[in-house]
Amino acid sequence: MTPVAIVTGASAGIGAELARVFAANGHAVMLVARREERLRQLADEIAVPGKPKPLVLALDLADRNAAEAIKSALRQNDCEAQYVVNNAGFSVIGPATELDRAEQLAMIDVNMRALLDLSLAFTDDLVKHRGGILNVGSLAGVMPGPCAAVYYASKAFVVSFSEALHQELKPLGVRVTCLCPGPVLTEFQARAGVAAAKSITPFDVPADRVAAEGYRGLMKGKRVVVPGLVSKLVFALVPRVVPRNFLLKQLEERQLKRRASH
């Protein structure tokens, strides 16, 4: 059985960069996302001569049977999971009471339920291959987010769950790392319903650097990786130092401004 790194949300942005990093470091890769054509283009791009071409699986992770579909595809190709990279996720911007409720529930399905399912579905294989799990969280996971309430809450779940799972699986030789980037200029903004920022901010870290730091952190067995000095300071200090009322007001104003500019 060939050990494989499963990368979800691999069709663009941080997910595509993570797939590139794993392939460049000699790992067989399975690319999972909804857009099959994008995945096949990426598979062609990152294929390494003399090694199996990356597997492609077009799949909506909101589907409750997603984990079983991935397992079936692995078995059909004589593969087993060595790494699970839970990158798939999305956001929508606006007051929770005004946004579509079904879409917010779908966000929970992708950002939380699917991540949990895939983190636990392959434990035996991860132990066998001394592998690991890389869960993509966010700076949003350490603070509340008015006008992106469900997204921020979902990332708080990712951070908390990943840190706990890191402690539980460490004795079994399985690494669990939570990658928590700040804002990264990708297609994520368009999906969320905001215009992508065009100016450089202190938070900006390119997607390829985010992916590279996440990969290195996973291989070193780090519990949490926060790319960028400013983001590290925010992750460590803002929840403890900034008054909650002030933080809530500032974040709400920022999200409403982003929504209005779209």
- Taking residue 17's Cβ as centre, other Cβ atoms within 10 Å add up to 24
Distance CA 128, CA 169 (A): 12
Rounded Cα gap, residues 11 and 178, in angstroms: 20
With tokens 């300071």, the residue in question is 233
CA distances from 202 to 29, 138, 184, 235, 238 (A): 33, 16, 11, 14, 15
Contact indicator for 257, 145 with CB cutoff of 8 Å: no
> What separation, in Å, do the N-terminal and C-terminal C-alpha atoms of the chain show?
48
Give the position of tokens 């969280």: 137
Alpha helices in the chain (DSSP H): 13-24, 36-46, 66-76, 101-108, 115-121, 123-128, 149-169, 188-192, 207-219, 229-241, 244-260
Q: How many angstroms separate the CA atoms of 12 and 99, rounded? A: 25
- Does 83 participate in catalysis according to the annotation? no
Q: Taking a C-beta distance cutoff of 8 angstroms, is the pair 170, 133 a contact?
A: no
Choosing from 83, 151, 152, 215, the catalytic residue is 151
Residues labelled as active-site residues: 151
